[in-house]
Structure 1
Amino acid sequence: MTAKKRIGILTSGGDCAGLNAVIRAVVHRAVLTYGWQVVGLKEGTQGFLHRPVAYQALDLRMVDGNMMRMGGTILGTTNRGDPFAYPMADGTLKDRSDEIIGGYRELGLDALIGIGGDGSFAILRKLAQKGGLNLVGIPKTIDNDLGLTEVSVGYDTAVGVAVEALDRLQPTAASHQRVMVLEVMGRDAGHIALAAGIAGGADVILIPEIQYTIESIAAKIKQVRATGRNFALVVVSEAVKTLDGGGAMKEYQGGEKRYGGIGAYIGDKIAEATGAETRVTVLGHVQRGSMPSPRDRLIASAFGVHAVDLIAEGQFDRMVAWSNREVISVPIADAIARYACVEADGPLVKTARGLGISLGD
């Protein structure tokens, strides 16, 4: 356990708040407790594809307390380029997995800590199985949709940003007698919308897990008016579908399609049904780039320390997780197999209904 090791760490997938706090915790635990060396791979698995490998040696001087306050990731990240079907300049796809495994060997790593979501873990685990790499995972996703962990790094900050947006929208909504629609991220899960809507005093929360009708939304807004209040707040998750069952998508350069536009769609439908003046705000990547909340810093630090301890214990192919107020570890395969969407009869849904919030159904 005390033999000097060299471990790698990388951030993969979309960025979020708290990644730097994880890196800091890993370096502190590895160096101060075990006397190990830590190297950070640049731009996720992309760093392994460079020759020489693109990495940064990490020491205590680089990871001071200020690092916990920083959003993003000092190592860079990527959510493109599956190494088993890597897009080449000529338009073909190439299996470059052996190059990544070779990069791991070139650095002389004893283990690799991957910070990512389900997509990143699926790729990293496939690489680890093919190349015999010692892998430990740390969950991060603002969507909070990874299985077997109650919370992932980045989620709390994303919710906080959305709540702050509602706090700022409320007075301007009241001043102009408007319905304010806030579109938030969350991929295919409604965790951010639900939590932020409850904490931010929303009147309507729309999430992909619960089907809505415009009639139900309009009835809630009319009910709000009947109480004498001249404004309403609506939160909608980006993955909520249009009335015809399609997703609101935007196509970007290269043909990539991503969620976008459901807020404007809902805003128009509300205006048509109620005659209310509506305004739409789309938070987008503002939820990713913020300074991490205290809770995200704590979760990130706990995960980072525990991940290093797993390496010391020789426990690999596992992901650290938060459960019942403690850090545990679970098989990575089980975590990515259990997609954690909002449960329609879960505690926060019941809380929202108990508060009189409409979920559109």
Structure 2
Amino acid sequence: MIKRIGILTSGGDCAGLNAVLRAVVLHATSNKGWEVLGLRQGTAGLMARPVEAELLDPYAMSSVLLRQGGTVLGTTNRGDPFAFPMADGHLLDRSEEVIEGYRQLGLDALIGIGGDGSFRILRRLAQQGGLNLVGIPKTIDNDLGLTEISIGHDTAVWIATEALDRLQPTAASHDRVMVLEVMGRDAGHIALSAGIAGGADAILIPEIPYSMERVAQKIDDIKRQGRNFALVIVAEAVTTEHGEPVTVTHVGGKATYGGIGHYVSDRLATLTGAETRVTVLGHLQRGAPPDPRDRVIAQAFGVHAVDLIDAGKFDRMVAWQNRRVIDVPILEAIERYQAVDPDGTLVQTARGLGISFGD
């Protein structure tokens, strides 16, 4: 008999998380008669003592949450509980603290909203502690397997497309090549979709090796045809032509992707003589209000996750396939990583439109 469930967001934030939260609370409380506890800062909230959690009031779940970006529960993409960094620099296994936090709250099940990294940790915790886990996929990269869409991706693509829309007039006004760097940790889905939607002339993604000479040739061809501007979109995980990742090291020594846009811009300026400019979207792709599709998918996922718990179906992830919500084993979703298919429909569409991948 389910009486109380918990919900947490884990990993990077994105648009649509609050819409999931609202759907879970409304369905679980109004239609199932359960209590829903929101866990603060992902697994970090379960490690805290006292556990950082709050009873979520369905009457506070107004439509305002549908429009709100980020996550009102907070999230974390640091501090793996199986190798938690301590103040003195050593790593400590704190997984049992997370499991004990779940038990202290008297939870009958847990809904985890995350990507592949979060699901690996949450599933391992569930297997170790006998926790009842249901997963909801969210990642702007859209690289989780067995689901056609993950929460946050559609909004990120929309923002990148809008950026190209805004860059085009200023590019034409000044005879420039505009380079847009977008997120994409390992996969180029954002760059590919936004590049097609925003009329990019070249799309550079990690899945397709490229040559700057080929991209430069595309820019020169455009100029010879009489157009005075060009748009190039590049995913942050794209390496240099020599296979070297371009990263930025932050205070504390952590390195993240960033800077490939400037590399591409400088090389194009050298090879073509064109005036180039770079725009790096960064976290703008994460922080916006969700677009309509993300709101709809998020709420469909939230309702189905509650129904899975009610049916006693755990170790499952909700997914979107063939215009409907289904559920799949979490492990299979993690293992079937979904990068861009170089021979897939969208790549072929882009090629058909004359867009260069630099190959």
State if a TM-score over 0.5 links the two structures: yes
Output the CA distance in 2 between the equivalents of 1:80 and 1:4.
31
Deviations along 1:144-168, one digit per CA (max 9) or x if unpaired, are: 0001100000000000000010000
Within 5 Å, give how 1:153-232 maps onto structure 2: 153-232=151-230
Aligned-partner residue type, residue 245 of structure 2 = G
Report what 1:252 is aligned to: 250
Output the CA distance in 1 between the equivalents of 2:251 and 2:46.
26
* Cα drift, residue 5 of structure 1: 1.2
Output the CA distance in 1 between the equivalents of 2:348 and 2:241.
24
* Cα drift, residue 90 of structure 1: 1.2
Report what 1:51 is aligned to: 49
1:253 match: secondary structure: coil
Question: 1:118 pairs with 116, 119, 125, which one?
Answer: 116
Aligned-partner residue type, residue 262 of structure 1 = I
- 8 Å CA contact 1:4–1:35 kept in 2: the answer is no
Report what 1:268 is aligned to: 266
Greater Cα offset, 58-67 or 272-281? 58-67
Is residue 2:13 matched to residue 1:15?
yes
* Cα drift, residue 246 of structure 1: 0.7
Runs ≥4 residues deviating over 2 A:
none
Output the CA distance in 2 between the equivalents of 1:287 and 1:56.
29
Q: CA RMSD in A?
A: 0.7
Output the CA distance in 2 between the equivalents of 1:148 and 1:4.
28
Report what 2:304 is aligned to: 306
Deviations along 1:143-200, one digit per CA (max 9) or x if unpaired, are: 0000110000000000000001000000000000000000000101000000000000
1:254 match: secondary structure: coil
Deviations along 1:302-350, one digit per CA (max 9) or x if unpaired, are: 0000000000000000000000000000000000001100000000000
Greater Cα offset, 218-227 or 345-354? 218-227
Output the CA distance in 1 between the equivalents of 2:218 and 2:241.
18
Within 5 Å, give how 1:286-305 maps onto structure 2: 286-305=284-303
Within 5 Å, give how 1:328-343 maps onto structure 2: 328-343=326-341
Aligned-partner residue type, residue 330 of structure 1 = V
- 8 Å CA contact 1:18–1:292 kept in 2: the answer is yes
Output the CA distance in 2 between the equivalents of 1:166 and 1:136.
37
* Cα drift, residue 206 of structure 1: 0.3
Deviations along 1:116-156, one digit per CA (max 9) or x if unpaired, are: 00000000000000000000000000000001100000000
Output the CA distance in 1 between the equivalents of 2:94 and 2:2.
30
Question: 1:68 pairs with 66, 69, 75, which one?
Answer: 66
Output the CA distance in 2 between the equivalents of 1:188 and 1:255.
21
Gaps of 5+ in 1: none
1:328 match: secondary structure: strand
Q: Tell me the TM-score normalised to structure 2 length.
A: 0.99
Output the CA distance in 2 between the equivalents of 1:276 and 1:29.
56
* Cα drift, residue 4 of structure 1: 5.0
* Cα drift, residue 50 of structure 1: 1.1
- 8 Å CA contact 1:194–1:349 kept in 2: the answer is yes
Output the CA distance in 2 between the equivalents of 1:204 and 1:32.
50
Aligned-partner residue type, residue 175 of structure 1 = S
* Cα drift, residue 81 of structure 1: 0.4
* Cα drift, residue 222 of structure 1: 1.1
Aligned-partner residue type, residue 176 of structure 2 = R
Identity over the aligned pairs, expressed in percent? 70
- 8 Å CA contact 2:180–2:233 kept in 1: the answer is yes
2:79 match: secondary structure: coil
2:252 match: secondary structure: helix
Aligned-partner residue type, residue 68 of structure 1 = L
Matched length: 359
Output the CA distance in 2 between the equivalents of 1:337 and 1:4.
30
Q: Tell me the TM-score normalised to structure 1 length.
A: 0.99
